Chain A
Amino acid sequence: AQKVTQAQTEISVVEKEDVTLDCVYETRDTTYYLFWYKQPPSGELVFLIRRNSFDEQNEISGRYSWNFQKSTSSFNFTITASQVVDSAVYFCALSEYSSGTYKYIFGTGTRLKVLA
């Protein structure tokens, strides 16, 4: 069965520290997508990144970077020089293809608290 594990329930860092959020997944599909979403205190889900299973190139977007390693089934997310506005719950998700469409399997989320 498809599964996404975010072992870190909550992380607290001081502003300007770097922080890495871990995500480990399980799937039998050969083609799949991985995602990160941010859920700020206001509750909405904000799309951050999508990764195709065939693209293991790491990606950097400003202070955000993602490390996808198929060999360890991990898709980790690093925030460099964290800011208070980064405080949120971050969800990793895996797409599962069935019945002609994709649905997402979400991890349980990691709550990040960035302290001033």
Chain B
Amino acid sequence: EPEVTQTPSHQVTQMGQEVILRCVPISNHLYFYWYRQILGQKVEFLVSFYNNEISEKSEIFDDQFSVERPDGSNFTLKIRSTKLEDSAMYFCASTRDRDSPLHFGNGTRLTVT
């Protein structure tokens, strides 16, 4: 069964550094998402992306965050200048259409030191 693939599984970075989290959604999916889960807490919506543009973003998704689908297969989340509070598990998700369930990747654990 096709899967959403995220790399790396764990990323450690220093405060103030830029980080790019990578995702390969399922190939025939059209809607893409990033969610975040701070350790031990609930899963929170960051951003949705469709037709090469952001559909919606949450309050968490400020100017330090950006998303891109550079080549038709990858979907990336960039954090320009990481803060300690950005430490979390980041999940990428995709779906074929608006009525289908989201398929989540295994997540990237980001640790900002």
Query: B-contacting residues of A (Cβ < 8 Å)?
Result: 33, 35, 37, 42-45, 47, 50, 91, 93, 97-109
A-B contact count (CB 8 A): 57
Is B44 a contact partner of A106 (Cβ separation < 8 A)?
yes
Evaluate contact between A103 and B101: CB separation under 8 angstroms. Answer: no
Q: How far is the CA of A102 from the CA of B89 in the complex (A)?
A: 21
Interface residues of B, CB < 8 Å — how many? 24
Q: Are A45 and B98 in contact (CB under 8 A)?
A: no
B56 within 8 A of A: yes
Q: Which of B31, B42, B89, B105 contacts A107 (CB 8 A)?
A: B42
The answer to whether B45 and A43 have CB atoms under 8 Å apart is: no
Which residues on the A side are within 8 Å of B104 (C-beta)? Answer: 37, 44-45, 47
Which residues of chain B are within 8 angstroms of A105 by Cβ–Cβ distance?
45
